[in-house]
Amino acid sequence: MSKISVTDLTFCYEGSFDPVFEKVSFLFDTDWKLGMIGRNGKGKTTFLNLLSGKYEYQGSIQAATAFDYFPYQVNEEQMGKCMADFMEELVPDCELWRVLVELDKMEMDAQLLYRPFETLSHGERTRVMLALLFSRDNYFLLIDEPTNHLDQKSREIVKAYLRGKKGFLLVSHDRDLLDACIDHILVLNRVTIEVQKGNFSSWWENKERMDAFRTAENEKHKKEIRKLHQAAERAADWADKNERTKIGYDPIKEHDRCMGSRAYIGAKTKKMQSRVTQMENRISREIEEKEGLLQDIEKSVDLKIMPLKHHKEVLVRAVKFGISYGEHRVLQDFDFELCQGERVLLRGANGSGKSSFIKAVLERSGCVPAFTDRRIEAGNGEAREESQTGGIQQTHSGMLQTAGGLIISYIDQDTSFLQGNLTDFCRRENLDESLLKAILRQLDFERVQFVKQMEEYSEGQKKKVLIAASLLRQAHLYIWDEPLNYIDVFSRMQIEALLKRYQPTMLLVEHDVRFQEKAATRVIDL
């Protein structure tokens, strides 16, 4: 057990004028299961890279241990190799038997080490890398969002695995994972940084209490400031009025006044003016203290959405619907119906056909380019639709219908197409730039990000651009495919509140358990 001490840490990316960290200090233990949370763009991944020694910084980070980082960067050449052939390139001192022990703990077959890495699913890659990461002793492990793109089963396995480990710093926005795996939490607040014992739920409960206390104290300060302002104004008025009587007076009305009273009046006025100055100084202190109370309160602004009403009740219907890629069938005999006002969430393992079904709905409604080389065959009462996509023949069977004139707002998993600045993006997507930026501000996007190129955004910030664009489009149906990958906890809560309030019709794929419970009206397991 040893301490990791961060003192006066200051860091700013080259060419940027807003520091990520500025003179921050805190302390944590290498024996902890430490979770880290914060808004997108607050510097979570940056901090992991600073611990890894990737960037130069001001201040000091003192640690008596070495660090290792997940996920490992696998290059194009290694993607075609088996993990067993290149894992020593990632971890020079790793031992195969230790990796096999860790794989067994995650219910993984050792044969996965001898398959080309590119053939492994997201869940398999994550678990193989975690096994490699935990196969060494005497390292403090930095784990950056391990559950993104993982299906529910893979998440449960990773959660159970991390629950039995210690000595790591876990960056995640998955509230269920954080509650299950950590015993301390590091929070990047709006202004400050805090380290607290407990998991996410215990921290959130404490935070709500503290925010309520700070808000109440803030109201007290506001009342005190108003009273001080009124007293200061009365005293200033009295002093000014008295000052004007120093010179000149009516001897008939003020027969008891003599020339020597001028000095007396001046002294009283000076004393009153001094009291006004003291009040103004106290007002300044009260205002400063009030601002300090509210600096870290999360004020989540209510988001808005303007769904359209369709003249039909059923918007999507599938009967005995199937999807195949060549000889591989991903969906078979699928019966489905989506009515207005429903938020249906598709749940299932990676490769079970969730995204494929969504893309079929989009294509059928005319929202994406149609497949090429299509042909329809009738036989045995079943319609078959075939297409050639990327060299792999895709076949649709059964029936899939969408309501006529259906307008869809879609969020894809992929963010790689986001290039240029927000002005370029709005022009391409035919969006109102000022409204898009207003929604991004509500999602806690800082104004300084508006002038940057989107390639410089974090993955969470890119996702927020897609979410804001989808909310801005009026549609009958909102189709979101894993929209919350990389999105911070506070924004997830905002989106949950939005869906509950406006109840748009939605077809969703999302593996966040808490989001499923709060946002979906119906869950379908594939």
3 state DSSP class of 314? strand
The sign of the CA dihedral 432, 438, 444, 447 is positive
Q: Is the dihedral of CA 40, 411, 143, 490 positive or negative?
A: positive
What is the Cα–Cα distance from 68 to 91, expressed in whole angstroms?
A: 9
Which fold is adopted by the domain 314-318+337-373+401-525? Rossmann fold (3.40.50)
Residues of the chain with pLDDT under 50: 369-390
Question: 433-442 and 459-472 helices cross at what angle (nearest 10)?
Answer: 120
221-242 pLDDT, tens digit per residue, is 777 777 777 777 777 777 677 6
pLDDT at residue 291, rounded to an integer: 57
Q: Supply the pLDDT for residue 472.
A: 93
pLDDT of residue 229: 74
- The three-state secondary structure class of 291 is helix
Q: What is the pLDDT of residue 315?
A: 95
Do the domains 314-318+337-373+401-525 and 3-206 match in fold? yes
Four-way CATH pick for 3-206: 3.40.50.880, 1.10.3720.10, 3.40.50.300, 3.40.50.720: 3.40.50.300
The ranges assigned to domains in the chain are 3-206, 214-294, 314-318+337-373+401-525
Q: Which residue has the tokens 């390292």?
A: 139
Q: What pLDDT sits at residue 161?
A: 92
> What pLDDT, on the 0 to 100 scale, is given for residue 366?
80
pLDDT at 270: 75
> Comparing C-alpha atoms, which of 427, 420, 423, 417 is closest to residue 437?
423
pLDDT for the residue numbered 257 = 58
Measured distance CA(36)–CA(190) in Å, rounded? 14
**What integer pLDDT is reported at residue 355 of this predicted model?**
87
- Nearest Cα neighbor of 22 from 51, 52, 58 is 58
